[in-house]
Amino acid sequence: MTEGPLVSTQWLAEHLDDPTVRVVDCRWYLRPFDWRNGDDEYTRAHIPGAVHARWDTDLADPERPDLWMLAGPDRFADAMASRGIGDDTFVVTYDDQHVTVAARVWWALRVYGHTGVAVLDGGINKWQAEGRPTDDMVPHRPRAQFTPRYDPSLYATHQDVLAALGTPTRLVDGRMAGAREADGGVIPGSITAPGIEFTGADGTWAVPEEARRRLATAGACAPEPTIAYCRGGVGACGTALAYAIAGHDDVAVYDGSWTEWITDPDAPRAMDAEPRS
């Protein structure tokens, strides 16, 4: 329904009553930086008609709770279908810019072959700042038919990243500086481009030309195959979204990211992210 990975608040307002459009509230908060609860925020007020989905439970693999990795196809399809999201549904995800969880759900849908998805530019903050309506009614959508079609080009495993070391594949660290310093290392050969840094003070994302400029400045905009990672798989999706805005929609995300990487004693680490030519 749209070109590019974003939709504006105006676009959503005009399509809010479209039965082929589903809005997904993705709000979630990283403790101890923010003690709010995404479920409570959704219950209190959300964009009318929006359903709620948590990336760390509803859309995660329950057999790997320590890593919050993406749910398998059956679980993911059930989560979508039960929220009224089917094969022909256009999905709009949103958050409030605390972390890029709307980008995480955008990426997850694309991993399972659902390309009819976009992120609300500016999220619910911009929506409310413009005086647009919210409500506290939880919609009950009829179950839909969601068919997962796994796209391995968008999903990177631990073995994929190991195999990429020393090859032309570009590794992009999507962690913020504080997280990277606290973690005490990077995957060797990484360059740095946190996705959330591509948003402005109002929460809107950089326009394509600006996104391309910032990626080029970071040494991250090149024709090589690209894998983004972060600490736990959310920030990297923001980086993948920044790439998509710039016109590169084929960036893979290392789902386990640094949290999984350090569980392997043989996985190499470096102290600093150094841009590669």
Query: Would you name the residues annotated as active-site residues?
Result: 230
80 class by beta-carbon count within 10 Å (0-12 exposed, 13-18 middle, 19+ buried) = buried
Intra-chain end-to-end CA distance of the chain, in Å? 37
> What letters, b where the CB count within 10 A reaches 16 and e where it falls short, cover 156-169?
bebeebeebeeeeb
Looking at the DSSP assignment, which residues form a beta bridge with residue 82? none
As a whole number of angstroms, the longest Cα–Cα distance in the chain is 53
Q: In 3D, which of 252, 233, 245, 260 has the Cα closest to residue 105?
A: 233
Name the phi and psi angles at 142, rounded to 5: -65, 145
Question: What gap in Å lies between CA 177 and CA 150, rounded to an integer?
Answer: 32
Alpha-carbon gap, residue 236 to 107, rounded angstroms: 10
